[in-house]
Amino acid sequence: MGLIPDGLRRWASANDASLADAYRLGAEKVTNILVALQRNDVHTVSVYNLSKANLKRTNDELMAVYEASVHFFTTLIPSRFDPAVCSVRLHGDRSLLPERYLAPAQQLEAAMKGDGFRINILAAYDADDELRAAHERAWRENRDIRSAFDIEDVDLIIRTTEEPLLSGFLPMQSQYAQLVFLTTPLNDLNASLVDELVEDFRRSPQFRGR
């Protein structure tokens, strides 16, 4: 599965909340969604935390994202997931991320080593970078490029805004993904809706171009 948490700036404006409060609540909501997906026997979830383009946003907004992400890495994930069952991996250009973000993310990677539920965090991620890296790996190891990607194909993508955009999210892996664009903002989302979306997906035939 793929998760694109979006609309937090608009939610902050509409609810007279600070960016820091909006993103912190967003981190809690993402955690609740992950719990719901694990409960529904989803094996892998890729979460779009920051694209490389997002790093051009204002310092105030990036600070809010970083603070919420650190809370996610240091408190929310460790408190809700068993490290013997769950794994976390960061994907993106780590050289572009500040140490205050990178250090707790790497500590979480080291601590969470299970194979029952995998969480991929995309940060400073760019699809062109990913494609180049996969191409170089395929050439170096003499393998098919499709097998050289670190993240597997995605079946279902949920974006928490209604704009029908993927914003560069895992384009190779998302070729046959079912796309859901929600009218409910992330910070107003109830985990029961996630249960319904997974159930609806599993009832739908998956032809993948056939």
Q: Give the mean pLDDT of 179-202.
A: 94
Chain centroid offset of residue 207 CA = 25
As given in the structure block, the two tokens for residue 150 are: 């670190």
Nearest alpha carbon to residue 123 among 175, 174, 169, 71: 169
Q: Provide the pLDDT confidence category of residue 191 given band limits of 50, 70 and 90.
A: confident
Q: Provide the pLDDT confidence category of residue 205 given band limits of 50, 70 and 90.
A: confident
Is residue 210's pLDDT more than 90?
no
Looking at residue 208, its pLDDT comes to 67
Q: Is pLDDT larger for residue 209 or for residue 77?
A: 77
Mean pLDDT over all residues of the chain?
Answer: 95
**What is the value of pTM for the model shown?**
0.95
pLDDT one-digit tens code per residue, 2-21: 999 999 999 999 999 999 99
As given in the structure block, the two tokens for residue 184 are: 């409910």
Tokens 């409960």 found at: 39
Q: Please state the φ and ψ torsions of residue 90, each to the nearest 5 degrees.
A: -95, 135
* CA atoms of 207 and 146, how far apart (whole Å): 19
- The residue ranges of every structural domain in the chain are 2-203
* CA atoms of 5 and 30, how far apart (whole Å): 7
State which fold the 2-203 domain adopts: Undecaprenyl pyrophosphate synthetase (3.40.1180)
Q: Give the mean pLDDT of 158-174.
A: 95
Nearest alpha carbon to residue 107 among 64, 67, 131, 73: 73
